[in-house]
Amino acid sequence: MIHTPKILMIFLWLVATNPLFAVNNLNLIIMIPDDHARRAMGAYGDRQVITPNLDLLAEQGVRFDNAYAAAPVCSPSRAAMLSGQYPSQVGVSDFFMLNDNYNKEGMDQNATLWPQILQDNGYTTGLIGKWHLGELDEYQPQNRGFDYFVHYNQDLTPFDPVLNVNGKLKAIKGHTSEIFTNYAIEFLRENKNNNFALTVAFREPQMPWNQVPDEDLKAVAHIDPIVPNRPGVDQTWLKKVTRDNYATIHALDRAIGVILNELDDLGLRENTIVMYIGDHGMLIGHHGYYGRGAVGVIAGNKVVGYENIANLYDEAIKIPFIIRAPALIEPGQEIEIPVSNIDVFPSIMSALAIKAPNDLNLSGIDLIQISNEQDTLESRPIFAQYAMRNFGYSDLRMVRSGKWKLIKRFNLKANAELVDELYDLEADPNEETNLIKQVSNQPIYEKLDNLIHSWMISIDDPLLSSSYKQ
C-alpha cells in the first residue's frame, strides 16, 4: 500500500512562508551507516533485530520502502549521495582500497558537492566518521565543503582507532560507535546557535561484527536468527554471523538514540531535518553469497571464491531511507515509490530552500515534490552501476522499472558463464528465478535494455566507448 503524505507536497511552501522555518532556522543531520541492509531494521519488518531508536525515527518521519543505492559498495555510493550524480560521472568506479594506490585516488575534484553549497550559504558543515573518498589533501573533507571533520586515517578498526581530527592524527580509546557519537554531540553543542549541517558516517554495521561493546553482544545473545536456507551453507555458522551483525546494528541504534536525545535536550528537534540513509546493503547467505558488491561463495562455514563475482541484487543495493522533519512532514508515512540515494542532493536543496547552480545537471530528483499522480512504480526507472576494478574485469548496470528488474554484465572474463538477469520483483521479491531465457519475456528484456542504454548515453557512461553491444 502506498502512503504519500499531502503535507510532504507542501514542504517547500511551508519553508518559504513560515518564519519559524526560514532557511536560517533549519538545520540538517544526515546519518549514514556502513553496510546496513534495508531488511535489518524493525521498521522494515525484521522482528528479531533490536532497533528501537531507528524504529521510532521511522514513526516520526517518512520511510521510503523502495530506496536504492547507486552502487553496492561504499566509495561510489557515497560519491553519488554527495554529488547527486552517478558514480561514473564523478570518477568513482569501485571502493578505494587500502593499498599503495589508495592515497593517489579520490572523487573528481571538479564535482560540486552539496556541503560546498551549504557552506557558501552560511552553514557550518561537519563530517564525523567514514570518508572513503580520497586521502590526499586535495580530496579530504576540508577541501570538499566541510568546516569540521573527524574521520579515519585509512585504518577502519572498530576499537581504539587513529582518527584525523581537523587535520591532526589522534589515537582515541574506545569503540567507534561511541567515539563518533561523542564528537557529534560536541559539534551540536558548539553549533546549537548556528546554521549547521552535520553528517555522521558511522562505521557500523561493517564487519567484523563481533567487535562491539559487551552490552551489544549480550543484548542479542538470545536471538535465534532466521537465515536463508541455502544448499551447502552451514546454518549454525550463518546464524552466528547474522547474530553478530545484529550486535553491530544494536550498537549503531544506541548511538543514534544518543544523538536524537541530544537534539531534544538542546531544543533543536523542531528545526532540524534528520535523514537516515544507508550507503548499500549486505548479503549474508542470500543467493549463497557473502558480502556487498563483490561477494564470496559460501561453502559450509567459510567464504571462498571472491574473484570476478559481482552482484546488483536488492540485498546489496536496497537501503533504509528515513526523513524526519518535525512540523513539516506528517509522521508514520510509508512511500513505495522507488527512489535513489542520488536524490539526497536535490532534496536537501529543496528542504533548506537553497538554489543549486543551474549547471550541475543533477541526476537525482527532489523527493519533496513527490505527488499523488506520481504514485506508481512504473513512473520512474531506478538505475545502479558497479565496476569491479578491485576484483577482476566485470562491470554491471541495473534498471528497475515497475515490477521488473534487469542486471546487465559487461567485460566478463574469468566467469564468462555468467549471464544477464531478469526478475519479476512482484512475483519473486528474493530474485531467485532468472527469467532472461524465457522467450515470452523478450519484449520486456528489450524495453529494459533500451532504458539502460539511454541512461548510459545520458550520463556519458565510459562503457559506451568500447563495451556496450545493442
Give residue limits of the domains in the chain.
Answer: 6-370, 379-465
**Fold classified for 6-370:** Alkaline Phosphatase, subunit A (3.40.720)
CA end-to-end span of the chain, whole Å?
37
- pLDDT mean for each 10 residues of the chain (470 residues): 45 42 74 95 97 97 95 91 93 66 71 95 95 74 89 80 90 95 98 96 91 96 94 93 97 98 96 96 92 85 75 96 83 89 94 89 80 53 84 81 93 69 96 94 96 95 67
- The DSSP string of 82-144 is HHSS-GGGGT--S---SSTTGGG-BS-TT---HHHHHHHTT-EEEEEE---SB-SGGGSGGGT
The β-bridge partners of 321 are 277
Rounded Cα–Cα distance for residues 279 and 70 (Å): 9
Q: What is the pLDDT of residues 229-256, one digit of tens each?
A: 988 899 999 999 999 999 999 999 999 9
Peptide bond into 208 cis (omega under 30): yes
Q: What is the pLDDT of residues 103-155, one digit of tens each?
A: 567 778 889 999 999 999 999 999 999 887 767 777 778 888 899 999 876 66
Q: What is the DSSP letter of 312?
A: -
pLDDT value, residue 6: 46
Phi-psi region of 267 (alpha: psi -120 to 50; beta: other; left: phi over 0): left
Q: Three cell numbers at 248?
A: 553491530
The pTM assigned to this predicted structure is: 0.91
Question: Could you tell me the CA-to-CA distances from 8 to 2, 4, 335 in Å, in that order?
Answer: 14, 8, 11
Rounded Cα–Cα distance for residues 467 and 264 (Å): 53
Rounded Cα–Cα distance for residues 72 and 291 (Å): 10
Q: What is the DSSP letter of 302?
A: E
167: helix, strand or coil: coil
pLDDT value, residue 463: 85
The β-bridge partners of 407 are 398, 421
Residues 17, 21, 26, 31: what is their CA dihedral angle, to the nearest 10 degrees? Answer: -100
Tell me the helix, strand and coil percentages in the chain, rounded to 5.
Answer: 35, 20, 45
- Cα radius of gyration rounded to whole Å, the chain: 21
Grid look-up 552501476 returns: 385
Q: Angle at CA 396, nearest 5°, toward 320 and 303?
A: 70
* 17 exposure class (CB count in 10 Å sphere: 0-12, 13-18, 19+): exposed
The amino acid occupying position 174 is G
Which residue from 89, 15, 113, 84 is spatially nearest to 365, judged by alpha carbons?
84
Grid look-up 586521502 returns: 135
* 405 exposure class (CB count in 10 Å sphere: 0-12, 13-18, 19+): buried
Rounded Cα–Cα distance for residues 345 and 250 (Å): 28
Grid look-up 543505492 returns: 69
Which residue from 204, 322, 188 is spatially nearest to 255, judged by alpha carbons?
204
Q: Under a CB-based contact definition with an 8 Å cutoff, are residues 281 and 317 in contact?
A: yes
Rounded Cα–Cα distance for residues 352 and 32 (Å): 19
Q: Which residues, 6+ apart, have CB-to-CB distance to 319 below 8 Å?
A: 36, 37, 38, 67, 68, 69, 277, 278, 279, 280, 281, 341
pLDDT value, residue 133: 73
Q: Under a CB-based contact definition with an 8 Å cutoff, are residues 95 and 131 in contact?
A: no
Grid look-up 513527490 returns: 370
162: helix, strand or coil: strand
Rounded Cα–Cα distance for residues 430 and 312 (Å): 12
Rounded Cα–Cα distance for residues 385 and 77 (Å): 9
Rounded Cα–Cα distance for residues 202 and 184 (Å): 11
Edge-to-edge strands of the sheet including 67-68? Answer: 318-319, 67-68, 339-340
Q: Three cell numbers at 411?
A: 567485460
Helix (H), strand (E) counts: the chain:
11, 21
pLDDT value, residue 15: 44
Looking at domain 379-465, its CATH class is alpha beta
Q: What is the DSSP letter of 367?
A: G
pLDDT value, residue 321: 97
The yes-or-no answer to whether 6-370 and 379-465 have a common fold is: no
